[in-house]
Each structure stands twice: as C-alpha cells, then as structure tokens.
Structure 1
Amino acid sequence: MKFKTLVTAVCLLTMPFVVLAESPVSAESLVSKTQQEQKEQRAHNVQREAGFKHTEQTIQAQRDSLLAMREKLQSETEKLSDIFSKNEAELSTLEEQLRLDTGSLGELFGVVRQSAKDLNTEIETSVTSVDSAKYASVVNEIVEAKALPSMLQLTGLWQGMVEQITASGEIAPISLPYINGEGYKANIDAFRLGSFALVSDQGYVQWNSDRHVAKPYLKQPQKGPVLADLSTINQAGILPLIVDPSRGIMLEQLANTPSLKERLENGGVVGKVILGLLAIGGIIALFRGTKLFIIRQQIKGQLKQPQVPGNNPLGRVLSVFYDNKERYTEQGRSVEALELRLLETIVDEQQHLEKGLSMLKLLAALAPMLGLLGTVTGMIETFQVITQFGNGDPKVMAGGISMALITTVLGLVAAMPLLLAHNILSTQADTIRNILEKQGISLVAEQAEKVGTTA
C-alpha cells in the first residue's frame, strides 16, 4: 500500500503544471484518498503488531510451560532412576535367592520323579494294579512331566503310595478277567495276597499288567493254596500258605524246573537202557538177598539140631557126612576122601549161593560205560547242532548237553547201588560158605579123631 502511494505521489509531482491548473478537484481527492489509505495502513499495522505480540506471548507461555514440564520430567527421571537402581539391586538379590531355591526344588523334583518312577513300576508290575491303581494316571503325569509338579500332583503321589502300602497288607477278594489254557476268556473270582500273588480255584494265576488279564502258571507248587483255602482264612483266621516272595518269578521258573520223569526222558534211549539194567539188577539183588537171608535163617536152625539134616546147605553137607562116614570107615578109606567129598558138596553149595552175583557185577560195570556212551552221543548231537545253527543261542545246544549229563548221572546212579548190592550179597555168601567150611572141617576132624582112636 505504501509503494502504491509513493508511486502516485511521484506521478503527481512530475505532471505538468498545466494539467494541475486544468484539474484542481482531482488532485485534492487523490491526496485525501492517499491519506485515508495511510490511516488504514497504520491501523492494519497496529493490528498486526498486536497479533504478533499476542503470538509472542503465547509462544513464551508455551516455552515456559515446556521448560517447567522438562524440569518436572527431569526430576521424575532422577526419581525413577533411583527407583530403578534400587529395584535392580533387589532384583539381583531375588534372582540369586531364586537360583538357590530353584536348585533345591530341582533336587526335590528329581527325588519326586524317581519316587514316581518307582511307584509307577510297582503299579505296573504288581498284582495290586488289579483293584488298587486309582492314582496311576497322576503318577504317570509326574513321570512324564518336564516342569515342577503341582501340589495336586504331589498329593496324588502321596495318596498313591498310601494306596499301595495299604493294598500290600490285604487279602482281598476280587473279580478279574482270566484266560484259561484253551484260550477262553472269562471273569473269575480270586483272592489277592497283598502285592505278592493272585489265587483262584486252580491255584496261583499270573497277572499280565500290559493286557490286564490273568493266565494260569504252567506248573503249580506242591500244596499250593486255592480259593477255598483263602475263603477259610477270611472266615476263620490264619492258615499257613506257600507264597512266592519274588512276586511270580519263582513260580515262572518252577515251570522250567523239570520233574524226575522229564529228566529221565532227556536221557534218551541210552538212559532207558541204563534204567533197564538197574531194574534187572535190582530184581536179581532183591531175589538173591531174600534167598540168602532165608538160607542163613535155615542154617541157624540147623546148627541147633545138627543130628537132623534139613533141606538147606548145611543140612546137605551133614547128610553127605552121615551117609558116607560109616561106609568110608568100613572100607578102610582115609579121612581125606571124606574131606574131599565134603569139599565137593561145599563147592556145589557155594555155586548156588553165588548164583546171580556175577551178573550184578557185570551190570554194575556196564552202567557207567553206557553213561559214558550217552555222554559221547549227546556231545556229538551238540556239535551237530552247533554246525547247523552256530553257538549264538545256548538253548539250541541244551538238548544234547542235557542228554550227555543225564546219561552220565544215570550210569553212576545205577552202578553205585548195584556195586553195593553185589558187595553185600557177596559178603553174605562168603559168610555162609565160611560156616559150611567150618562145619565140614569140624566134622572131618571129629571123624579123624575117631579113626585114630580105633586104630
């Protein structure tokens, strides 16, 4: 606006005075207009200056407010920094305490987890799982957990231990699934003997915890309990029982323990031959022993009545003496002839007394030799099996080795009683022969004395 006014003024000054003279009204109006514009301009400038001052005051107020806010924030920052340092120190202390506590809890968790594993094994392998496995799932959760167990899980572990301890001291009637030897499945009544065994009508039964079913043992112990026996215990009191403390291991091994019949069958053909020899030798020994015993009794009776010869070896010797002494004396024959006749009779009687003893001796000698034969045969069979299947599995070689050992044992077992019987019977025969010889010599001596006196 000022520039426009100045331009107008310059134009007016440079205009020819002729024009001014000719237009006096126009110049005055132009000056007036210019002055008016100047006033407006000044008013506008004043208004702008007032706006500027107001803006300056507003900005100054904002600056003062920001400075105050900055000071306040700096103060708060210092306070927070102090609090942070304090919290950091306290946090470091708490972290150290947490580390120590976590280590203790880690050890505790290891103990808890090991206890849970032991209890889980007990539940899975023991017969108490039939009716006392309420907390098995909680125990399994602790075993598989990767973090510290909760209080609920610890309580479940404790209750599971109490449950197993209580069940181990009970004789409880239960119903359980059972598969018999023919493969049929049914529910049967049984008794649980603590954590040791299950007893049914057939005796002890084996519990399969994986399939949750019971099956019979292949072999029962002698005088083992049955369901009726345990019912009597439940009603009347205490009854002695045969219990497997190994919880079924010994009962399983009982099936692998062969009976005497099975052992004899393992001896094969050679073992049967040895047993046959033992039976024959036993019959001979029994028969000859009875015969010799009867003869000894007859001889004892004959010694009490020597004048009346009987039907026994001594009686036959006396008969020979009485029948021949007068004849030999009348014919003038020497006493030596009578002695020889008596000796002949004694030798005949000795042959009858020792009849069968040589067979016993032969059988006693053959038995260990046959046992050795069975041993060699069994080892040959073992080596053949090794050649075919190798020696990786000892069970493959068990048959031949069993045959070798069984035949050896059978041979020795057969030889010893046969030798003992032969010795006893030989002693008895020798005793009887000595009695006959003594009596014969006595008779000859008596006759020799009579002959000498007569001469």
Structure 2
Amino acid sequence: MMRRMWMVIVLLLLPLTVQAQSGDGSRETQLRELLQLVEQGMVQDAREQRERINRFIEQRNEQDQMLEQRQARLAELEAQTETLEGRFETNETEIAELETRLDDRLGTLKELFGVLQQTASDFKGVVAASPTSSQYTDRVDFLESLIDKAGSSSRLPSIGELERLWYEMQQEMVASGEVARYPANVVADNGETNEQSVVRVGTFNVVSDGQYLRWEPETSQLVQLPRQPGARYTAQAEDFSQASAGELSDFWVDPSGGSLLSLLIQAPELKDRINQGGVIGYIIIGIGAFALLLALERLISLGLLTMKVQRQARTDQASPKNPLGRVMQTYQDHRNKDTETLELKLGESIARETPKLTRFLPLLKIIAVVAPLLGLLGTVTGMINTFQAITLFGTGDPKLMAGGISQALVTTVMGLAVAIPTVLLHTVVSGRSKRLLQILEERSIGIIARRDEQQGQTA
C-alpha cells in the first residue's frame, strides 16, 4: 500500500518536471502514461498479495499437521505412563513381599550381622590407632567394606570375609607381642616422605635410625617426632634399631602408646632452661664461667707454688723462684742484724708474699654473694611479667601461670648453681693459700728460733 502511494506521488510530480524541461509536450500523453503506470502497479500488488496468502495457507496446513502429530504423541505417552505406573505399583508390592520373605528367612542372622558390624567397628578403631597398620596397610579398607555389608540387607558378608576378620584380629594380637623390622614410608621434619627401615616394638613404639616415630591415625603415616627425647633414650633406640635378630638390647618402651613420650619431649632441656633465664640468666652464666676460670687459675698456681715450697723446704739453698726461698733470702741478707729487726724484715717479706698467694680470693667471694642476688632479681622480674600476663588474660589458663612462674624461678636456680660451686672453690683456694702462708710463718719463726739458739750457745 505504501508503495502504491509513493508511485502516485511520483507520477503527479513527473508531469511538472517534464513540463519544466520541455515546453512542447502534450498533457494528454502524460496523463495516459500515468494511467498505465498505475495499472501496472496495481497488477503487481495483486500478484504479491496472492503469493502471501498462498504461503500463509501452506504454513497453516503444516501447523495443523504438526498439532495432530503432537496430540497423537501425547496420547501415546499418557498411555505409556499409565502402564508404567501400574508396573511400579506391582513392583513395590513384590519388593515388600520379598523383603518380608527375606526377613523371615534371615531370622537370627540379623542379630549376628549386627554383632558383626559392632565388632568390626570396634576393631577398626583399634587398628586405625595401632602402629601395626604401618606394616599391614589394607586392613582399614577391608573393615569399612565389611561394616557396610553387615549393615546392608542387599549385600551380605561372605564366609571368606568372616574368616579374614578372625584372621586380622588374631594377627593384631600376635603383632602386639613381637618386634618386627620392615620398610615403611616415614614423614621427616621437613615434610618429605622417604622409605626407611623401621623397627616396631609391639603396639607401643616405632623407631628408625635411633629416632622415635609417631603413628598418625588421621593420615595413616609414620611421622618423625619434631623433637626427640634425651640422649639416653635415643642412644638406646639407635642400638636397638641396629641390633640383629635374636640379640638382646635395652630399650625404653612407652606402654601408653606415645602419650608418655609426648609429655617427655615437651619437658624443657638444659638449653631451653638457659634460654628461659633471659638476659639475667646469661649474666649469671657469664660470671659463673669467670669465677670458674679464676678458681682454676688459683688452684693451678697454688699447686705449683706448693710443690716449689716443698722442694725448697728440703734444702737450705734459697731460691728466688718461690715464696719460701725469697723469705730465706731475706734472712740471709739480714742475718747479722738483731733479732727484733730480723723479725720485722721476715714479717715484711711474708707480707709482701701474701697478696700473691691470696690474689682473686675476694673476687671469688663477691661472685658467690652476687650470683644469688642476680637470680633473685631475675625471679622478681619474671614474676612481674607473669602478673602482667594474668592481668591481661586472666587466670583461666593454669599453664600460663605455671609456665611464667617456672620461667621466673629459673634464674634463682642458676644463681644458686653458680654460687654454691663458687663458695666451695673459694674455700679450697683459700685453704691452700693459708697453708702456704702458714708454712712461711712457721719457717720464719723457726729461723729466728734457731738463730737465737745458736747465739745463746755461743755466749
């Protein structure tokens, strides 16, 4: 329709254009041509309209045919649905009858399977937590399958599976009393898994190359302890792991299956105790080492002087290399003087030797007194920190208080550990120096007495 309107507009405008271009054209000729064009357009529009009507009729016939096909398919499916529903109801009735017949035939076997399921479940828990599973690795999967079958009415355990359950239980009992060596995967501290030769002691402990291992039920793996117990435990574990078959060897056994061992490795070692002392602890250790060096130097020096003095006491030839020789040399230098002057000279010589013999003794005494005081200072500081932690976090965790108090008392122990040996060393060194001074005094008094005796005989 729009096309026809445009054609009429064009034809109406055409004569005006033609007339403008050529002034000698006939008006009648133009109208006749316009009429012909209109007739041609009407004919063409009528043809296109008939074609559209024919296509619409064809499409409607196809849709009617498709509708008839769908209705026929729907009727067929509805009939099939009714058939299946009937079959489903029949099958349900048959299944109920078969289940009732199965229950009647099973009878007491259901109770037996219930007991079997309970026994397998309990044994599964034992096997999962036992280190013997590192040697026999497929038992847990078998027990899970057996538990599923024992709890299901469609699948029943076979005679072979029941016999294997008895065999696995018997095997666990035998393994709990034997020592076995076998290869197994071990997870090291760095997370790497390596196959190693391990030694299992019943269901208690597993060792490898002198290292204690722990069985992890969650991951079903042997894991090396992040921290090993003391040297006396690991040394015996190493000897035990290297022992040959039939050879007797000492070994520390954890009857709790690893609980005692876990508590043992949590106990702090000497290095941990020293670290707990903090700065004050290091100071106490430093002055303790310094006191030990001083005491050793005094013991060695006084020991050498004692030997030299003893050699000097057996001869009258004075030697300037020892205190007694120097005292004797003083007598020889002033032997012609009067007795009072000689006594003063010998006293002066002994007084000159006294600082050499008592050197560092006051310092040792000071260290013996200061070390406990430093330990008390560290304890007070640690208690202050503990009470600050209690103020912040409360008293809900006893381990927090116990750990803080234990750490605070470490410095007191360290101070006493330094002070007690220092006092003993000071006593020993002081005794040796006093004995040497006593020898010098006795010899000087003896010299004066002998001189007076000789002078009296001469008179």
TM-score (norm 2): 0.64
2:303 to 284, 290, 293: 293
Q: Which residue of structure 2 lines up, in the alignment, with residue 65 of structure 1?
A: none
Q: Which residue of structure 2 lines up, in the alignment, with residue 222 of structure 1?
A: 234
Question: Judging changes above 3 Å, is the alpha-carbon distance between structure 1 residues 187 and 286 closer, same or farther for their aligned structure 2 residues?
Answer: closer
Aligned 1:2-41 pairs, distance under 5 A: none
Determine if the alignment matches structure 1 residue 278 to structure 2 residue 288.
yes
Paired with 2:199 and 2:440, the residues of 1 have a C-alpha distance of 72
SS of residue paired to 2:334: helix
* Equivalent residues, number: 338
SS of residue paired to 1:426: helix
Determine if the alignment matches structure 1 residue 268 to structure 2 residue 278.
yes
RMSD: 3.6
- For 2:251, give the aligned amino acid: I
- For 1:123, give the aligned amino acid: V
Question: Judging changes above 3 Å, is the alpha-carbon distance between structure 1 residues 136 and 239 closer, same or farther for their aligned structure 2 residues?
Answer: farther
Q: Which residue of structure 1 lines up, in the alignment, with residue 412 of structure 2?
A: 408
- For 1:270, give the aligned amino acid: I
Q: Which residue of structure 2 lines up, in the alignment, with residue 166 of structure 1?
A: 174
Q: Which residue of structure 2 lines up, in the alignment, with residue 245 of structure 1?
A: 254
Determine if the alignment matches structure 1 residue 448 to structure 2 residue 459.
no
Q: How far off is 1:352 after superposition?
A: 1.4
Flag structure 1 segments of 5+ consecutive residues without an equivalent: 1-101
8 Å CA contact 1:268–1:403 kept in 2: the answer is no
- For 2:274, give the aligned amino acid: L
SS of residue paired to 1:348: helix
1:203 to 211, 234, 243: 211
Paired with 1:377 and 1:143, the residues of 2 have a C-alpha distance of 65
Question: Judging changes above 3 Å, is the alpha-carbon distance between structure 1 residues 140 and 418 closer, same or farther for their aligned structure 2 residues?
Answer: farther
Q: How far off is 1:348 after superposition?
A: 1.7
SS of residue paired to 2:247: coil
8 Å CA contact 2:113–2:151 kept in 1: the answer is no
8 Å CA contact 1:120–1:140 kept in 2: the answer is no
Paired with 1:435 and 1:189, the residues of 2 have a C-alpha distance of 69
Question: Judging changes above 3 Å, is the alpha-carbon distance between structure 1 residues 215 and 233 closer, same or farther for their aligned structure 2 residues?
Answer: same
Paired with 2:341 and 2:158, the residues of 1 have a C-alpha distance of 116
Paired with 1:143 and 1:192, the residues of 2 have a C-alpha distance of 33
SS of residue paired to 2:222: strand
2:244 to 208, 233, 236: 233
Q: How far off is 1:195 after superposition?
A: 1.6
Paired with 2:300 and 2:183, the residues of 1 have a C-alpha distance of 61
SS of residue paired to 2:234: coil
Paired with 1:317 and 1:109, the residues of 2 have a C-alpha distance of 106
Paired with 1:355 and 1:232, the residues of 2 have a C-alpha distance of 56
Q: Which residue of structure 2 lines up, in the alignment, with residue 419 of structure 1?
A: 423
Q: How far off is 1:353 after superposition?
A: 0.7
Quick check: 368-377 or 187-196, which moved more? Answer: 187-196
8 Å CA contact 2:121–2:143 kept in 1: the answer is no
Paired with 2:400 and 2:150, the residues of 1 have a C-alpha distance of 40
Q: Which residue of structure 1 lines up, in the alignment, with residue 369 of structure 2?
A: 365
- For 2:234, give the aligned amino acid: Q
Paired with 1:415 and 1:421, the residues of 2 have a C-alpha distance of 10
Residues 144-195 of structure 1: per-residue CA shift (max 9 Å, x gap)? 99xxxx9979877654431211122344444544433223345555343332
Q: How far off is 1:301 after superposition?
A: 0.5
- For 1:401, give the aligned amino acid: I
8 Å CA contact 1:218–1:255 kept in 2: the answer is no
Paired with 1:115 and 1:403, the residues of 2 have a C-alpha distance of 49
8 Å CA contact 2:120–2:143 kept in 1: the answer is no
- For 1:252, give the aligned amino acid: S
SS of residue paired to 1:308: coil
Aligned 1:45-444 pairs, distance under 5 A: 119-132=123-136, 133=139, 136-137=143-144, 158-185=166-193, 188-201=196-209, 203-220=211-228, 221-225=233-237, 230=241, 233-234=244-245, 237-246=246-255, 247-326=257-336, 328=337, 333=338, 335-444=339-448
Rg larger for:
1
Name the % identity. Answer: 36
8 Å CA contact 2:280–2:411 kept in 1: the answer is yes
TM-score (norm 1): 0.65
Flag structure 2 segments of 5+ consecutive residues without an equivalent: 1-107
